[in-house]
Structure 1
Amino acid sequence: MPRTTRILASLGAIAAAATIAQAAGLPLDIQAVNTDALPDIGEEWLTENPYREQGEEVWAKAIEIGASGYNQNCARCHGLGAVSGGLAPDLRFLEAEEYGDEWYMERFRHGFTQNGVTRMPAFGDLLGQKAAWAIRTYLETRPDEDAVSAKSAELKALRDTLAAGGEVDAEAVKAELSGIAEEIETLSGAPVADSIAYRAAAQIDGTPASFNKAAETLTVGLSAAQ
């Protein structure tokens, strides 16, 4: 089934997700997202993600801010790590191209109503465009979990090397992590997955502190993947 078709087919399940959230006593209020660290993109709503082509630093910051915004406002229905579990659309599969962006932004701005009942609130006026595209950037860069699991043994070995202390060949470990990262794809078709291998490689700068940080990233990520 095509990715967008799969998402459209699951829209009706948003009602169930909202009902479950209410029954569990979960807050349904919308939390503000601080986007000050992102460059301005104007007042007019765009139809394509502007943070894809603004360089790695902006892209990484958009993912960081988008992760926070998603966890505060979206995860209760769409799932932690954007893994929906089937109750709401799995937004990891939404194509990282203009058509997917338009579909996403329509839902983000105006919400979703079914039979006169609001199943998804309209976030547009409340969170703004920068938050919208930051969350979109986070979603489209989610890695294929199966690909991460397939590399778990290699990642654990590298984690252990980093965590052991002593002398570490930083360049060799960084190169191995980068090689693994290149083999882990996104589910959206975006060219780079924000995987634990990608993040750990970026954190290594040759210092013991960076080895510990990268080891922690791998430990947390591998635990979540189990």
Structure 2
Amino acid sequence: MHNTSFKGLLTAGAVFAATTLAYAHGDVNPQPVDTAGLPETGEEWLTENPYRASEVGEEVWRKAVEIGSSGYNQNCARCHGLEVVSGGLAPDLRFLEAEEYGDEWYVERFRTGYTQNGITKMPAFGELLGQDAAWAIRTYIETRPDSDAMEEVSDELKELRDQLAGYATDANGADADAIRARLTEIAGSIETLSGAPVADSVAYRAANLIDGTTDAYKSAAETLTIGLSAAH
């Protein structure tokens, strides 16, 4: 478990130092984000994430994570890294606290960007992508799982993946409730680095796919395969 906070990194100057090394974004064209299915946030910019499950329910929260994933990968991953794992050229946003301070810092940077010595290190996305996309991306970022915690359960997840792949061909003898319960238990043991209450881990995703059908077993196995590959 990591105890480092994003605010602590800022205080220490580590994030600032990393930001000054970031590549210029002048040649990046922001890609539009389809936010259909999310409640509209209005024209006035908020200072707190409106798409957390505690505010809108789990179904809308999941939709925000899904849309945020697409928006992040199209517009942010180039510098902030796949799965929000920074390579050191930009702040590691996984540590940005899922609370008021983190929200305010995030939305300010998203809206206005960041420029140093006349060089754009991060473009202003606010007017181009809009508020709904901004908070969907924020929701995706704050739900990234702790990679160390994922590593600790990777062997068991691989075993479960292999079981699910087998059930995708022949579901005789499969206990959907037991497999879903075990995946849910594993998902509950995986924390976020932001302090968000639920990590959008591959265990969490796979658990929510299982309904006892062979198609669901296949989808869950594929989800685990892709997620475990991305973690390495």
Q: Normalization by structure 1: what TM-score?
A: 0.93
**In the alignment, which residue of structure 2 is the partner of 1:91?**
93
Q: Unaligned 5+ residue runs, structure 2?
A: none
**In the alignment, which residue of structure 2 is the partner of 1:36?**
36
Q: Is the 8 A contact 2:96 2:194 kept in 1?
A: yes
3-state SS in 2 of match to 1:89: coil
Alignment of 1:39-118 (within 5 A): 39-52=39-52, 53-118=55-120
Which whole-Å CA distance do the structure 1 matches of 2:126 and 2:16 have between them?
19
Q: Which segment drifts farther, 115-124 or 190-199? A: 115-124
Instruction: For residue 71 of structure 1, report the CA deviation from its aligned partner.
Output: 0.5
Instruction: For residue 115 of structure 1, report the CA deviation from its aligned partner.
Output: 2.1
**In the alignment, which residue of structure 1 is the partner of 2:187?**
181
**In the alignment, which residue of structure 2 is the partner of 1:4?**
7
Which whole-Å CA distance do the structure 2 matches of 1:78 and 1:99 have between them?
20
**In the alignment, which residue of structure 2 is the partner of 1:14?**
19
Q: Is the 8 A contact 2:191 2:197 kept in 1?
A: yes
**In the alignment, which residue of structure 2 is the partner of 1:143?**
145
Q: Is the 8 A contact 1:14 1:120 kept in 2?
A: no
3-state SS in 2 of match to 1:35: coil
Deviations 1:162-187 (A, max 9, x none): 11122211000000000000000000
**In the alignment, which residue of structure 2 is the partner of 1:161?**
163
Q: Normalization by structure 2: what TM-score?
A: 0.91
Identity %: 67
Q: Is the 8 A contact 1:159 1:219 kept in 2?
A: yes
3-state SS in 2 of match to 1:118: strand
Deviating beyond 6 angstroms after TM superposition, the runs of 4 or more aligned structure 1 residues are none
Instruction: For residue 219 of structure 1, report the CA deviation from its aligned partner.
Output: 0.8
Which whole-Å CA distance do the structure 1 matches of 2:61 and 2:229 have between them?
25
3-state SS in 1 of match to 2:120: strand
Which whole-Å CA distance do the structure 2 matches of 1:210 and 1:219 have between them?
14
The Cα RMSD (Å) is 1.5
Q: Is the 8 A contact 2:23 2:89 kept in 1?
A: no
Q: Is the 8 A contact 1:178 1:198 kept in 2?
A: yes
Instruction: For residue 15 of structure 1, report the CA deviation from its aligned partner.
Output: 4.5
Which whole-Å CA distance do the structure 1 matches of 2:163 and 2:154 have between them?
14
Which whole-Å CA distance do the structure 1 matches of 2:66 and 2:153 have between them?
24
Which whole-Å CA distance do the structure 1 matches of 2:42 and 2:189 have between them?
36
